[in-house]
Amino acid sequence: MRFKGIIWVIKFPAVLLKTFYHKLNSKRFDRNFHEHIRAVYSDPLFTDESDKFQKHRRKISELASNQGKNRTVLEVAAGAGWQAVSLSNFDFDRVVATDLQKERIDFARKTLRVENIEWMTANITDLSFEDKEFDVSVVSAGLHDLPKEMLSEGVSELARVSRNDVVIFEPTNYPERNFWGEVIGFIGSILDESNHFSDFVKTDLDGLFSKNGFEKDICCGVWSSIMTIKRYRRKV
C-alpha cells in the first residue's frame, strides 16, 4: 500500500540521525558486524510498517518468478518482511523468508500475518538448506551490509541453494572505481546504516556470482541508478 512509502519519507530525518548515532557507537565501542546489525535493527525506528522500497517490490518479485518458471523462492535478509509479502502474492508453491535477527522475523510474523510464508532465522554465510533446494533466491538491500569476507561467503551460499536464479536489489556496483563509484560510496558510507557501503559499491559483484556459476541475466537501474535490480541465472 502507498502509505508505507509515505511513512518512510516522513520519518527519514529521524532515521538519518539515528543512523549517525549507531555508526558512531559502532566505532566508539568497536562493534563487530553482528553487534552493529543487532544494535541498529533492535531500534524500533528501523523496524516498523514503513517501506522505502515499496515501489520496486513487484518488479523484484516478477523477476524472481521468471514468468512462473520458478516455483520455490527463498528470501535472505528479509528484514520487516515486505518483499516476502510481495513474493507471496505471486504463484509460488513455497515462500521462505529468513533474517539474521530473530527480532525482525518475530516482527514480520506477528505484524504481517501471511499464512503462506515460512519465517525463520538464518545466517546468509551458512544457510541450512540443501543444494539447489529453491528455484530462486532473493536479497533486497542486504548484501551491502556485509563485510568483504562475509559477502563472498554469502554469494557462494545463495548460489549453492538456488537451482535457477538469484535476484538482488542493492546499491549499484562500480568495480572499476570511477568517479561516480567514489562519490556514491562516500555518500552512502555517511547516510546508510552499513559500515561497509563504500567497499560494497567497489566490489565486482558480477564477478563473484560468475565464480559461483551464475551470470547476469537482467539489470535494471532505479533511484536514478543509485540502486540496481539484477537477476543472475545459473550458467548452462
- Domain membership of residue 108 (yes or no) is yes
**Cβ atoms of 125 and 105 closer than 8 Å:** no
> Would you place residue 23 in the very low, low, confident or very high pLDDT band (cuts 50, 70, 90)?
very high
What is the per-residue DSSP string for 46-95? GSSS--TTGGGHHHHHHHHHTTTT--EEEEES-TTSHHHHHHHTS--SEE
- Per-residue model confidence as pLDDT tens digits over 26-37: 999 999 999 999
Residue 105 lies in a domain: yes
Residue 12: inside a domain:
no
Asked, for residue 94, whether it belongs to a domain, the answer is: yes
Total number of domains in the chain: 1
Given the C-alpha cell 502509505, which residue does it identify?
3
Residues 42-53, mean pLDDT to the nearest whole number: 81
pLDDT at 2: 54
Type of residue numbered 6:
I
Sheet with 94-99, side-by-side order of all strands: 118-121, 94-99, 72-76, 134-140, 162-171, 227-234, 214-222
Residue 20 has pLDDT above 60, yes or no: yes
Residue 163: predicted pLDDT: 98
pLDDT at residue 178 in the model = 83
Q: Predicted confidence band at 117 (pLDDT cuts at 50, 70, 90)? A: very high
In a domain? residue 7 = no
Is residue 19 in some structural domain? Answer: no
Residue 215 inside a domain? The answer is yes
pLDDT of residue 196: 96
Report the DSSP pairing between strands 94-99 and 134-140: unpaired
Residue 175 pLDDT exceeds 80: yes
Calculate helix-pair angle for 33-41, 2-28, nearest 10 degrees: 140
CATH of the domain at 213: 3.40.50.150
In a domain, 83, yes or no: yes
> Domain residues for 117?
53-234
Q: How do the residues of the chain divide into helix, strand and coil, expressed in percent and rounded to 5? A: 45, 20, 30
Please report, for residues 100, 129, 164, the alpha-carbon distance to residue 234 in angstroms, rounded to integers and kept in the order given.
Answer: 26, 18, 5
- pLDDT band, very low/low/confident/very high, at 3 (cuts 50, 70, 90): low
Label residue 223 left, alpha or beta by phi (over 0 means left) and psi (-120 to 50 means alpha). Answer: left
